[in-house]
Structure 1
Amino acid sequence: MTTLPLVKNSSAGSSSKRDPIDWSGAVLNGYLLIFFAYMFLPMIFMVVAAFNAAPTPSVTDWQGFTLKWFAQLANEQRFITGLGHSLVIAFGVIVISIPLGLAGALLLTRLQTRGITLLYTVLVSPILTPGIVLGATTMIFWRDAFGVDAGLLTATIAQSSFIASYCMLMFMARLQRQDLALEEAALDLGASSFLVFRRITLPFLMPTVLTAAALAFLQSIENYNTTFFAIGPSWTLVTEIGARMRFGISPVINVIGVLFVAITIIAATVYVLASRRKNRG
C-alpha cells in the first residue's frame, strides 16, 4: 500500500496571515471627517435655511424654496446702515493699526535693552485683555478727557488697541527674517534712515502689510464685545445682529451669512487665480 505525499497548501497559509489594519490612517481619516463636519455643517445648514420659506430658520421644517428673505434684506435699513458703519470702522482700524503695529515691531526687533521683555509684555497685553474692558475704558476715557461722544471714533480706537498688537506680531515675524546687512550697507554708503526704510525695509515688509491689513479688516468686521461697549448709541452690522438675536432668529440673518460666505469664496478664488497667473508669468 502506497501513501501519497502530503503537499502543503502555501496559498491557504498565506491567506491566513492578514495584513495588519492601519489604525493611524483610520484615526486620521475619522478625525478629518469630524473636523470638517464640525466646521462646515453649521454653515451648510445656514445656507439652506436662507432659502426656506419658514418664518424661522430651519432645515427640518421645510416649507418650500423662496428668495423672499433676500428681497427683505433690502428693506432692513438698520442692517444696511450698520454695514456702512462697520466698513468705516474697519478702514479706520487699518489706518491706525498698521502704523502702530509696525512701529512696535521695529522697536522690539531693533532695540537692544534689558527691558525688552517687559516692553513686549506691555505691547501684547491688549490681546489678553477682555473686549468688555477695552470697550468700556475707551469710551469712558475719550468721553471724560476729550468730551467725545461714544460712536464710530471710540469704536475704531477701541478695536485698534488690540488689533494693532496682532499686526505687530506679524511684522515681528517678518522682520526676524530680514538680512540687516542690506540696511547697514546702505547706511555706510550715506543713505538716510528714512531712505533706508523706504527703499529697503518697507518693500521687504509689503507682503506682511497687505496680510496685516486683511487681518485687521476681518477682525474689525466680526468684532462684537469691544464694539458693543465702545460704540454707544450707534451700531454696526454685528451689534445689530446681536440685538436682533434677543428677540428670535430671523431668516434675514441667514441671508447676511450667505452673502458673506459668497463674498469670501469669490475673493479667495480671485486671489488663487491671480497667484497662479503671477507664478506662471
Structure 2
Amino acid sequence: MTSDLIQKYMVRFYIAMFFLYLFGPLILMGVTAFNSPTFPTAIPIDELTLKWFSVLANDKDMIQGIKNSLWIGLGVVCVAVPIGLAAALLMSQVHKKAQSIYYMIVVSPLLTPGVILGISTLVFWDRLGVWVDADYNSVFYSGIFLSIIGQSTFISAYCMLIFLSRLQRFDRTQEEAALDLGATNVQVFWKILIPFLRPAIGSAAFLAFLTSFENYNTTLFTIQAESTLTTVLAGKVRLGTNPSLSALAVVIVGITLVGAVTHEIYRRREMRREALAAEAAKRAAHIADKGMAPV
C-alpha cells in the first residue's frame, strides 16, 4: 500500500468523522423522537410512535414560547435591519480617520456579554419608566418590547457588517450620475441603492431573525414574566425532559431542510433563466451583426 493511498484513506476517515461529529447528535435526537420510552432513548428502539409530536402540540408553554419567539424575531428584524443599514451608510460617509473609532463604537455590543446587555436594558427602561411615571402595564415593562430592544442592540451590528460587505462593491458613480441627471437624494436611495442592497437586506433580515430566535442570555433578563422558546427549553431541561423536545428538534430541522431545498431550487431556476436570457441576447447581437455586415 503506497503512501498516497494511505493518505487518501486517512483524509476520507477524517471527513467521515467530522460529519459524524456534526450530524451524529441530530440523528440520535431524531431517533428518540420516534421511540416510545418516556426518557429520550435511541437504543434500543422499543416501539415506533408519533405520540411525542402530539405531546409537543399540546404543550401550552412550549407553543406560547414559540409564538413569543416569532413575534420578538419579527420585531428585531424591523428594528435591527434599518439600524444596521443606517450604521453602514454612515460608515461609508465619515472621514477615513474617524472610521476606525466609529467602527469600534458600533461593533462594541458584539463584544459585550449578553448578560450585561440584558441587565442594562432592563435597568435603563425601568428607570425611564419611573422617570416618566409610566404604568406597569405600559410598554416600558413589557417583556416582548424589552427583548426586542435588548436583542437589537447587538444584532444590528451583525446587520451592519453584512451591509458593509455589500457596499464595498457599490459603484458610487451611479449615485453621482443620477444626481447630475436631476434625481433627488431620496430617489437615488430608493431607485439605485436599495435595489443594489436587496440581497444584503434579505440576508440581514434572515440572520437577525435566527439570532433572535435562538438567543438566551439577553432574553433571560428582559423577557420578565413572559417566556420564549429558549427560556421554556432551559426550564424543561433543568426539571427533566421527555422526547417531545426531540420532536421539536425534528420539526425545526425539517423546516430548515425544506427552506434550504426551496432556496436552492429557486436559485437554480434563476441561474437557468439568466443563462437563457444571456444566450438569447448573445444570439440577437450575433444576428444584428450579421444583418449590418456589408454584402
Taking structure 1 as the reference length, the TM-score comes to: 0.90
Is structure 2 residue 230 aligned with structure 1 residue 243?
no
Matched with 1:85 is: 68
Counterpart pick for 2:42 among 59, 65, 82? 59
The aligned residue for residue 279 of structure 2 is: none
- The amino acid that maps onto 1:141 is F
Instruction: Measure the CA separation in 2 of the matches of 1:112 and 1:31.
Output: 48
Deviations 1:179-226 (A, max 9, x none): 111111111222211111111111000011011111111111111111
- Relative to 1, partners in 2 of residues 1:102 and 1:27: Cα closer, same or farther, differing over 3 Å? farther
User: Which residue, 170, 183, 193 being the options, matches 2:175?
Assistant: 183
Pairing partner for 2:15 from 32, 37, 40:
32
Let me know the Cα RMSD of the aligned residues. Answer: 1.4
Q: Does 1:49 find its partner at 2:41? A: no
Q: Does residue 134 of structure 1 match 2:121?
A: no
Q: Secondary structure at the match of 1:115?
A: helix
Q: Using the alignment, how far apart are the partners of 1:211 and 1:115 within structure 2?
A: 28
What corresponds to 1:152 in structure 2? 144
Question: Quick one: which amino acid aligns to residue 227 of structure 2?
Answer: W
| Match in the other structure for 1:121 | 104
Q: Which amino acid is 1:63 matched to? A: D
The share of aligned pairs that are identical, in percent, is: 41
SS at match of 1:114: helix
| SS of residue paired to 2:35 | coil
Counterpart residue number, 2:87: 104
Equivalent-residue separation in structure 2 for 1:180 and 1:266 (angstroms): 38
3-state DSSP of counterpart to 1:190: coil
**What are the ranges of 5 or more consecutive residues in structure 1 without an aligned counterpart?**
1-17
- Equivalence for 1:7: none
Q: Which deviations, in whole Å up to 9, do the C-alpha atoms of 1:41-64 show, x marking residues without a partner? A: 000000000001011001124321
Structure 1 residues 62 and 125, CA, compared in 2 at 3 Å: closer, same or farther? Answer: same
Give the deviation of 1:112 after TM superposition.
1.6
| TM-aligned CA deviation for residue 110 of structure 1 | 2.2
Aligned residue pair count: 264
Whichever residue aligns with residue 16 of structure 2, its letter is L
Spell out, residue by residue over 1:228-270, the C-alpha distance to the aligned partner (whole angstroms, 9 max, x if none). Answer: 1111111001110111110112211111100000101111111
Instruction: Give the CA deviation at 1:150.
Output: 4.4
Q: 4+ runs of 1 displaced by more than 4 Å? A: none
Residues 27, 184 of structure 1: alpha-carbon distance in 2 compared, 3 angstrom cutoff:
farther
Q: Give ranges in structure 2 of 5+ residues lacking alignment.
A: 135-139, 274-295
Q: Which amino acid aligns with 2:151?
A: Q
Q: Which residue in 2 is equivalent to 1:279? A: 271
Secondary structure, counterpart of 2:141 in structure 1 = coil
Aligned CA distance change for structure 1 residues 20 and 27 (closer, same or farther; 3 Å): closer
Cα gap change, 1:43 to 1:145, in 2 (>3 Å): same
In the alignment, is residue 234 of structure 1 matched against residue 217 of structure 2? no
Greater share of helix residues, 1 or 2?
A: 2
State the one-letter code of the partner of 1:102: L
- Paired letter, 1:188: D
Alpha-carbon spacing, 1:69–1:278, altered in 2? closer, same or farther (3 Å): same
Maintained 8 Å contact 1:143/1:150 = no
Q: For the structure 1 residues 104 and 62, does the alpha-carbon distance in structure 2 shift closer, same or farther, using more than 3 Å as the test? A: same
Q: In 2, Cα distance between the equivalents of 1:183 and 1:66?
A: 61
Q: Distance in 1 between matches of 2:121 and 2:9?
A: 51
Contact 1:139–1:150 (CA under 8 A) maintained in structure 2: no
Confirm or deny: 8 A CA contact 1:139 1:231 kept in the other structure. no
Larger Rg belongs to: 1
Contact 1:132/1:225 (<8 A) preserved: yes
1:23, distance to aligned residue in structure 2 (A): 5.5
